[in-house]
Amino acid sequence: MATLTVQDNLQQFSTPGNLEDVVFKSIEFVQKTLSENRNLVLITAGGTSVPLEQNTVRCIENFSTGRRGAISAENFLLADYNVIYLHRNGSSFPFERKFVDYLDEKSKRLMDIFTIANDCVNIAENFPKDLKDSLKHYELLKNNILTIKYTSLSEYMHYTHAICNALKPIEKRAMIYLAAAVSDFFVSNSDTQVHKIQSSDKLINLKLSPVPKMLGKLVESWAPDAYVVTFKLETDPEILDHKAKSALIKYRHEAVVANTLHDRYNTVKILTELENIVIRLSEEETHAKVNIEQKIVEKLIKFHVNHMTSI
Ligand code: PMT
């Protein structure tokens, strides 16, 4: 049986009500980027959700926090790229995630960092310097990022397609950085019941269909000139290299970043047609809270520059 592609199948995914708005905003941001003579990266981040009912009460989720995408977005912004940040609603957000880390570390709630006196809201005295820096960076760079939120797999599919199409005028100056964890199985429209699945003592059977692969179409026709980076996640390190290499050969895109679930923030491998680079944080770097995304982005920007200057 021939593999179905997203292009054959985009109609399997219900069209989001605000798709036109996403198209409009993306085109506008691409025009702005062209007028500023900058490079642009589309970053996807976080997990997609598969609804079990059309009026959704229950859904299938995955582990992704969006952190990889958020920290990568910070590094691209600091390197003067414009960023389209397509992220799971409620997942990690560039610069803001530092505040979340801080609250987490200190076991504090958001409202613990504010005080109120004479109807004036103040920030708690010991506001750490790196949080101030994050705030400064956000203030400085917020016009260089377009944020688009998704929740469901359908939204992710339609938005990615629409944004890639909008990127075409940027040609080789566009990078596509697919860090999202996209569901591999879903309940197709025709198998999704309208109302809440009723609880009962009986077993229920869910029919999960494979999600059509969109990467082939993306590389071939949605964004044929862009520098395309995908991520490959496995839990078994033994099969990771092989899977990453196979993806590169099959989809003929520019780079795969291979990582394992539990070590993903310490070690990654970047594979291209010519390179096979291991990036591993040293103990000192881990202690100093260096983010591995900084190193991934540095490398990929170098590769992107070569791509832009190639014929
Ligand atoms: O979000 P974090 O908690 O920080 O974790 C980061 C991460 C582990 C999610 C990230 O580093 C990562 O590895 N993301 C890809 C996960 C994965 O294994 O994807 P995949 O093998 O299902 O897909 C391969 C690539 O194609 C991915 O880049 C994916 O975004 C993309 N894809 C997959 C299927 C599909 N239908 N459309 C896609 O775009």
**Tens digit of pLDDT for each residue in 265-301?**
999 999 999 999 999 999 999 999 999 999 999 999 9
| Residue 77 counted as domain residue | yes
Centre of ligand 1 to C-alpha 29, Å, is 25
| Residue 25 counted as domain residue | no
Map residue 221 onto helix, strand or coil: helix
| Residue 110 counted as domain residue | yes
Residues with CB under 6 A from ligand 1: 44, 46, 64-68, 178-182, 184, 211, 213-215, 230-233, 259, 264
Res. 7 pLDDT band, cuts 50 70 90: low
Centre of ligand 1 to C-alpha 170, Å, is 24
Centre of ligand 1 to C-alpha 257, Å, is 10
Nearest CA to ligand 1 atom 14: 179
In the prediction, which pLDDT does 1 show?
Answer: 41
Percentage of residues in the chain having pLDDT higher than 90 = 84
| Residue 4 counted as domain residue | no
Residue range of the domain that includes 76: 35-309
When pLDDT is averaged across residues 54-71 and rounded to a whole number, the result is 96
How many domains does the chain contain in total? 1
Model pTM? Answer: 0.95
| Residue 16 counted as domain residue | no
CB–CB of 299/77 below 8 Å? no
Q: In what order do the strands lie in the sheet with 255-260?
A: 145-150, 82-88, 40-45, 174-178, 227-234, 255-260, 267-271, 276-280
In the prediction, which pLDDT does 6 show?
Answer: 53
| Residue 268 counted as domain residue | yes
| Residue 29 counted as domain residue | no
* Residue 249 belongs to domain with CATH number: 3.40.50.10300
In the prediction, which pLDDT does 12 show?
Answer: 85
- Residue type (1 letter), 40: L
In the prediction, which pLDDT does 10 show?
Answer: 85
In the prediction, which pLDDT does 86 show?
Answer: 98
> Is the model's pLDDT at 204 over the cut of 90?
no
> Is the model's pLDDT at 4 over the cut of 70?
no
| Residue 13 counted as domain residue | no
